[in-house]
Amino acid sequence: MSREESQRVDPGDGLNEIERMDKQYVFGTWSYQNEVSPTEIVDADGVYFRDAHGNRRLDFSGQLMCSNLGHSADRVADAMAEQARKGAYFAPGNTTENRAKLGKLLAEVTPGNLSKTFFSTSGTEAIEAAIKIARMYTGKYKIVSRYRSYHGSTYGSISVTGDPRRLPAEPGIPGTIKAPDPYAYGSTLDPMQSLDYIEEMLMLEGDTVAAVLVEPVVGSNGILVPPDEYLPRLKEIAHEHGALLICDEVMSGFGRTGEWFGSDLFDVTPDIMTMAKGLTGAYAPLGATIVTDEIASFFEDTMFCHGHTYSGHPVAVAAGRAAVEMYIEDNLIDHAREVGDYLGERLEELAEDHPSVGEVRGVGLFRGIELTKDSEKRVPFGVRKDKISPGKTVVDEVSGHAWSEGLYVANMINTLIIAPPLVIEPDEVDEAVAILDEALRISDDAMVA
């Protein structure tokens, strides 16, 4: 059979022509390529998106926990189009009104004396910049991060990532050290003991640690909210040992937790904060690394040895400025807190009705449903070491069923991750919870007898 003929045969894979073309010519991320099954999305509106097969789905995970503004923020789309027409790109040595004003806005909405921003194009790059800045500022090189974390996919950011996605990239960059996490449900350490562990590590490492890097509320590794005293004490411990605190707010930022940033939940100002995702509501790829006044002034007479062609790309910062203005003017942070409280109540009800729900946890519109096959012993379902071994888990089946019934909910390892657009309304939460209620029967049925 010729190559053309073989492509004309319908392999019965349920994919349309575009999806099959995509599968053939485009790498699927973090996947065995033979398992990739792309869905052609044709349009989206509010908290819904529609595929080329005529299905409409409620977006209960904000795509990758980033479409905070929903899928019809015309104001952001217009700002991007306007900038693209005026001039799509100028080298970073120039500026635009949007870049300067977004920088100022970020200094205003981030906590404390965080004041000066480096712009990049992704969360990964925001972390790379944070690592480099911490090393340049402190003159030290080690970075302490935690096991249940994800910080990005390039060599520096994957080396400080703790979850199994780091494994194919090991040994990674030198000087990365991992610590346990505040994970009350699944760890043998209680959350504050995990903090003692970090204190001990910092003491034993001597004066070699540039920074401690954490997600204030852990995102893709299961929505872990630490106790109130954890983050303030972590900052103290880091400073006592001459290390900076870097908070990775790529997922927890921009209203996701019902506050501007996860750090605000604990009244902590980190020395460096990274942002992406919600920064533009995912209308454009934009990462940001903001530092305190002290760190900013260090670079007055020390070269800031970092940059990209697309640092502060005019169209991306136009999206960022319009997005941040929208969070402010539409009171989206308050809305997220209020609807988030309602979401929390509805998920607690699910937990009561489904024995396979080990724990629901989270804050604001950032929630996790951890499943278990044995609620007494808290045994996880998953056998797949997330993203690095093939096959489906029970948790995949639960989210797969929800998908087929019109609900997109992400899952990681053993937890369903719920992070809808901040514009979601209570009746849409109800619609999603009804579908989850059905889907969770699959995990209930798969529990050990």
Residue 251 or residue 440: which is nearer to ligand PMP going by CB? 251
The whole-angstrom separation of Cα 196 and Cα 303 is: 36
The full length of the chain comes to 449
Does 278 contact ligand PMP by CB under 6 A? no
Q: How far is the CB of 333 from ligand PMP (least distance, A)?
A: 19
Phi, psi of 320 (to 5 degrees): -60, -45
DSSP-derived pairing of the beta strands 114-120 and 287-292: antiparallel
Residue 103 or residue 287: which is nearer to ligand PMP going by CB? 287
Q: How far is the CB of 273 from ligand PMP (least distance, A)?
A: 11
Phi, psi of 371 (to 5 degrees): -100, 155
Residue 76 or residue 127: which is nearer to ligand PMP going by CB? 127
Q: Are 46 and 68 in contact (CB under 8 A)?
A: no
Does 122 contact ligand PMP by CB under 6 A? yes
Binding part of the chain for ligand PMP, among 145-153, 197-205, 393-401, 425-433 by CB under 6 A, reads 145-153
Q: How far is the CB of 446 from ligand PMP (least distance, A)?
A: 28
Residue 416 or residue 435: which is nearer to ligand PMP going by CB? 416
DSSP codes of every residue in 64-132: HHT-TT-S--HHHHHHHHHHHHH-S---TTS--HHHHHHHHHHHHHSSTTEEEEEEESSHHHHHHHHHH
Residue 248 or residue 271: which is nearer to ligand PMP going by CB? 248
Q: Across the strands, what pairs with 245?
A: 212
Phi, psi of 358 (to 5 degrees): -75, -45
* Secondary structure (3-state) at 342: helix
Neighbour tally for 81: CB within 10 Å: 13
CB nearest ligand PMP: which residue? 123
Q: How far is the CB of 277 from ligand PMP (least distance, A)?
A: 6
Does 124 contact ligand PMP by CB under 6 A? yes
Binding part of the chain for ligand PMP, among 80-88, 213-221, 253-261, 419-427 by CB under 6 A, reads 213-221
Site for ligand PMP in 215-254 (CB under 6 A): 215, 219-220, 248, 250-251
Neighbour tally for 285: CB within 10 Å: 19
Structure tokens at 136: 């340049």
Contact characters 36-65, ligand PMP, x per CB under 6 A = ----------------------------x-
Q: Are 44 and 73 in contact (CB under 8 A)?
A: no
What number of chain residues touch ligand PMP (CB under 6 A)?
15
Smallest CA-to-CA distance from 394 within 408, 380, 375 is with: 380
Does 399 contact ligand PMP by CB under 6 A? no
Q: How far is the CB of 449 from ligand PMP (least distance, A)?
A: 37
Structure tokens at 342: 């309602």
Q: How far is the CB of 409 from ligand PMP (least distance, A)?
A: 16
Does 127 contact ligand PMP by CB under 6 A? yes
Residue 386 or residue 428: which is nearer to ligand PMP going by CB? 386
The whole-angstrom separation of Cα 52 and Cα 56 is: 10
Site for ligand PMP in 69-98 (CB under 6 A): none
In the complex, the residues that contact ligand PMP under the rule CB under 6 A are 64, 122-124, 127, 150-152, 215, 219-220, 248, 250-251, 276
